[in-house]
A and B are shown apart, each in its own frame.
Chain A
Amino acid sequence: GAGVSQSPSNKVTEKGKDVELRCDPISGHTALYWYRQRLGQGLEFLIYFQGNSAPDKSGLPSDRFSAERTGESVSTLTIQRTQQEDSAVYLCASSLGPVAPQHFGDGTRLSIL
């Protein structure tokens, strides 16, 4: 597609449920990133994928968070046993390579009740 596509755009769920967020990067972009943005804050890095290399998971806040990406296509970010502190906008970005500018999707706004 023309840009990074994320779904759903909004997700409301109860505390303790699992959620899965999806990111479809720009075609041809080998690098994919997930960030979290809490209300009124800057973005926090979560995880990075580059081709078939092992992902950089250094930003994942707990073992409740995981992400997968198959090749250079779609990625899913999964949050298990959601907590209220997980409420945030989750942004996905992709780039042509690790040093190229990152282009962001519109994000998924996650609200935990």
Chain B
Amino acid sequence: AQKITQTQPGMFVQEKEAVTLDCTYDTSDPSYGLFWYKQPSSGEMIFLIYQGSYDQQNATEGRYSLNFQKARKSANLVISASQLGDSAMYFCAMRGGYQGAQKLVFGQGTRLTINP
């Protein structure tokens, strides 16, 4: 079975600092995808970044980058130059390869608070 583990229930960071949110995963599928979503207090789920298991390079999207370490089964999200608007819940999720390829399995989330 697939599993996502986010070990940081909460993080506090000063504005403009970089922050790393941890995510480890477990799967037996050779092909899979990893996602990060942001959920502000308003509740919507905002797609941030995607990494495929066969991608050679780490994914980047603006201030977001994904530190993909396949051997360690980790997919940490790095936010550079954090902003007050980055305060939200962040969820790591996995899409499987063959079985259950469609559904996303989510971690418990990390609540990020950016302090001015």
Contacts and interface: CB of A to CB of B under 8 A. Distances in A.
Interface of A: 31, 33, 35, 41-45, 48, 50, 56, 58-59, 89, 91, 93, 98-99, 101-107, 109
Interface string B72-116: 000000000000000000010101000011111111110000000
A45 B105 contact: yes
A interface, over-half SS: strand
B44 A43 contact: no
Contacts of B45: 43, 91, 93, 104
Contacts of A102: 35, 47, 104
Given A89-B43, A107-B44, A43 B101 contact: no
Contact of A48 (B102, B107, B108): B102
Question: Interface SS of chain B: helix, strand, loop or mixed?
Answer: strand
Given A99-B95, A106-B43, A56 B102 contact: yes
Nearest to A91: B45
A102 B33 CA distance: 12
A50 B44 contact: no
Interface of B: 4, 33, 35, 37, 42-47, 50, 91, 93, 95, 100-109
Contact of B102 (A42, A98, A103, A109): A98
A59 B103 contact: yes
Given A42-B109, A43-B91, A107-B44, A99 B101 contact: yes
Given A56-B102, A101-B35, A101-B50, A42 B43 contact: no
A45 B103 contact: yes
A51 B33 CA distance: 21
Contacts of B46: 104
A104 B103 contact: no
21 contacts: A33-B102, A33-B104, A35-B104, A42-B4, A42-B107, A43-B93, A43-B106, A44-B106, A45-B104, A45-B105, A56-B102, A58-B100, A58-B103, A98-B101, A101-B47, A101-B50, A102-B35, A102-B47, A102-B104, A105-B44, A107-B44
